[in-house]
Amino acid sequence: MDSIIIQGNGPVSGEIPISGAKNAALTLMPAALLTDEPVTLTNVPRLSDIKTTNELLQSLGTKISMKDDGQSITLTTPEITNHLAHYDIVRKMRASILVLGPIIARHGIAAVSLPGGCAIGARPVDIHLKGLEALGVNLDLIDGYVHAKAPKGLKGTTYELPFASVGATENLLMAATLAKGTTVLKNVAREPEIVDLAVLLRSMGANISGDGSTEIIIEGVETLHGTTHKVVTDRIELGTYMMAPLIAGGEIELLGGKRQILESFCQKLEEAGAQITETTRGLIVARKNANIHAVNVTTEPFPGFPTDLQAQMMALLCTAEGTSVLNETIFENRFMHAPELVRMGANIDVQGGTAIVTGIKELRGAPVMATDLRASVSLILAGLAAKGETRVARVYHLDRGYEKVVSKFRSIGANIERIKE
């Protein structure tokens, strides 16, 4: 397993290009199952989760070709030759559940392994399943697999999600595009990745309105056709790198960064003392003055503060002036970076879904352990500002969501290297 070593190296400077969004690509790719024509996605990030999704789709009958060093992927599914998504793949990547809606809509029968939990929580899929039942799918849970049947096809319905689940919104939106009649989905997620999926589906001939709001209306169509679509910018990668100058000092420009996909996050950073300037190339970020000060944060579904940036925010607040209160409301166990930051000298008191962070003068480098994707990168950010050497073990988590992470940090002056252990 690889480790990443960072030497605290003072203020950062330079520029970082932001890649296409992992959490958009992981739903755009299964959408290609909905048609027998080629769907080409460009600006695709080169990540291990994308590779896993390629393997999964190929096992279902999708032909995949790549160009531009993997940034452009063409997916063609003449027919679904296998309707079973195996546990071995699904357990590696929970987002595999997003093939369920497209397979059942196109093929009428599907068997997808239940994803199981992960480090940050139990991650049930009950909302996905209840929504598909509302669309007329018969479901049986047998030996850890969801067996889904819709021999007469899906039927438009009105379904209100009990929680604005991102994945459930994506699964149901994709399934409803081929349902007979009108589907109204209420209390849906509003993330930019949902809008990007709706843009792709409309370009395939789907009839969708309301994406980005709490209610999406889909008029089912007979078939969908191929298209070419550029994956939206990764707002979580963007927000992650915005932290670097705030934690270590200095100033950087994030190429392709746009405020409107991270508005509430940007407002919170400005409240803490960040200076964010929009340019024709992206966003320039620096501290407004010498110090960052404490702020209170509560994670919420979009347009609220993103849970995927909570760990990075905690790393910043470890050396802010004053005491901050962080409430994590989306996942039940998403503070595993806290004890690792405490190893670096941070003063953090976790009580259930709340973390109280009392800022200290300076973090000290230490050996720490990555536990999940966003926790891993929060430890690298902390290492940028810490005195001495920080060694982050189990960095394979990073490969799931951060393309060229070492070279991107190095391009702004970080003293960082990856070693095999």
Q: Active-site residues: which are they?
A: 118
Nearer to ligand EPZ, 12 or 168 (CB): 168
* Positions 165 through 224 that interact with ligand EPZ (CB under 6 A): 165-168
Q: How many other CB atoms sit within 10 Å of the CB of residue 226?
A: 17
**Candidate list 95, 185, 363, 406; residue touching ligand EPZ; CB under 6 A:** 95
Least distance from ligand EPZ to the Cβ atom of residue 44, Å: 14
- Return the beta strands (E) in 248-381 as ranges: 250-255, 274-278, 282-287, 297-298, 323-327, 347-351, 354-358, 367-369
By the rule CB under 6 A, 91 interacts with ligand EPZ:
no
Tell me the window of 64-72, 121-129, 274-282, 315-323 that interacts with ligand EPZ (CB under 6 A). 121-129
Angle at 195 between CA 329 and CA 153, to 5 degrees: 100
370 interacts with ligand EPZ by CB under 6 A: no
Which has the closest alpha carbon to 205: 57, 37, 21, 61?
A: 37
Beta bridge partners of 139: 148
Q: What gap in Å lies between CA 77 and CA 335, rounded to an integer?
A: 40
As measured in angstroms, the least distance from the Cβ of 163 to ligand EPZ is 5
Pick from 6, 26, 39, 114 the residue near ligand EPZ by CB under 6 A: 26
Question: 389-393 and 367-369: which strand pairing?
Answer: parallel
d(CA 100, CA 121): 21
d(CA 282, CA 403): 18
Q: In what order do the strands lie in the sheet with 227-230?
A: 63-67, 72-76, 39-42, 227-230
Report which secondary-structure segment, H or E, holds 24. helix 22-31
Q: CB 222 → ligand EPZ: shortest distance, Å?
A: 29
The answer to the question of residue 102 lying near ligand EPZ (CB under 6 A) is no
Number of residues that bind ligand EPZ (CB under 6 A): 22
Beta bridge partners of 184: 158, 217
- Specify the 3-state DSSP secondary structure of 385: helix
Q: Which residue has the tokens 């990856």?
A: 418
Binding ligand EPZ (rule: CB under 6 A), the pick from 14, 38, 61, 121 is 121
Residue for token pair 């063609």: 76
Query: Is residue 99 a contact residue for ligand EPZ (CB under 6 A)?
Result: no
Which is nearer to ligand EPZ, 123 or 149 (by Cβ)? 123
Residues 379-408 that bind ligand EPZ (CB under 6 A): 401
Residue 218 contacts residue 208 (beta carbons within 8 Å)? yes
Task: Specify the residue, 108 or 121, whose C-beta has the smaller distance to ligand EPZ.
Answer: 121
- Which residue's CB is nearer to ligand EPZ, number 34 or number 129? 129
* Shortest spacing between CB 368 and ligand EPZ, in angstroms: 18
Q: How many other CB atoms are found less than 10 A from the CB of residue 162?
A: 11
DSSP letter at 226 equals -
Q: Site map for ligand EPZ, 307-346, x if CB under 6 A?
A: xx---------------------xx---------------
Nearer CB in complex with ligand EPZ: 86/123: 123
Of 2-10, 59-67, 126-134, 147-155, the segment contacting ligand EPZ by CB under 6 A is 126-134
Cβ closest to ligand EPZ, residue 141 vs residue 419: 141
**Of positions 83, 107, 128, 190, contacts ligand EPZ by CB under 6 A:** 128
138-142 β-sheet, strand order: 84-85, 109-113, 145-149, 138-142
Output the residue with the shortest Cβ distance to ligand EPZ. 167
By beta-carbon proximity to ligand EPZ, the closer residue of 34 and 330 is 330
Map the footprint of ligand EPZ across residues 273-312, applying CB under 6 A.
307-308
- Dihedral of CA atoms 13, 14, 16, 17 in degrees, nearest 10, equals 160
What is the contact surface with ligand EPZ in residues (CB under 6 A)?
23, 26, 95, 121, 123-128, 163, 165-168, 307-308, 330-331, 373-374, 401
